[in-house]
Structure 1
Amino acid sequence: MKLVYKIWIEGDNKAFGEGPYKLLKKVDQLGSIHKAAQDMNMSYSKAWSIIKRAERELGIILVESNIGGAGGGGSCLTSQARILLNQYNEFCHEAEEILTELYNKYFSELL
């Protein structure tokens, strides 16, 4: 047996969680929303809507896009997005430690 949980930030709607986190990490790694979407087996429009919904709900810009041209376009994360990714990652790691401790406290002898 193991503990399973999901953590997300919510306003009026779900704003940010594991899915947007992974998508933004891929955008950062690959330099493109389109390439990140392909790598994650999702459509560009779905990736774009995930990013735009998160931006709208959080009230911050996460991605800056450069229009294509001779050198092609691309996307990069804003400084606020980088802070969000780091803080979300640290929060999740700390939450995992605490939740594992609580799980062991209450269920280790039973399960």
Structure 2
Amino acid sequence: MKLVYKIWIEGDNKAFGEGPYKLLLKVNQLGSIYKAAQDMNMSYSKAWSIIKRAERELGIALVESNIGGAGGGGSCLTPQAKILMNKYDEFCNEAGEILIKLYNKYFSELL
């Protein structure tokens, strides 16, 4: 048996969690929303809507897009997105450690 949990941030709607986090990691790695969507087997429009919903709910810009040209377009994360992602990652790691300790405290003898 193991503990399973999900952590996300909500406003009026779900704003940011594991899905948007992974998508932004791919955008940062590949330099493109389109390439990130392809890599994650999702449509570009779905990826774009995930990012836009998160930006709207959080009230911050997450991605800066550059229009294509001779070298093609691309996208990069805003400084605010990088801060958010670092804090989300640190929070999830720390929360996970605490949740595992609590799980072991309450269920180790039972399960």
Aligned twin of 2:32: 32
Aligned twin of 2:95: 95
The letter for the 2-side match of 1:69 is G
Aligned twin of 2:82: 82
How many corresponding residue pairs?
Answer: 111
Post-superposition CA distance 1:29-65 (Å, at most 9, x none)? 0000000000000000000000000000000000000
Aligned twin of 2:13: 13
Runs of 4+ with >2 A deviation: none
Aligned twin of 1:43: 43
Q: Distance in 2 between matches of 1:11 and 1:95?
A: 20
Give the root-mean-square deviation of aligned CA atoms.
Answer: 0.3
Post-superposition CA distance 1:39-95 (Å, at most 9, x none)? 000000000000000000000000000000111000000000000000000000000
Q: Distance in 2 between matches of 1:106 and 1:96?
A: 15
TM-score norm. by structure 1 comes to 1.00
Q: Give secondary structure in 1 for the equivalent of 2:19.
A: helix
Structure 2 residues without counterparts, runs of 5 or longer: none
Structure 1 residues without counterparts, runs of 5 or longer: none
Taking only the aligned residue pairs, the percentage that are identical comes to: 88
Q: Distance in 2 between matches of 1:47 and 1:86?
A: 20
Aligned twin of 2:72: 72
Q: Give secondary structure in 1 for the equivalent of 2:24.
A: helix
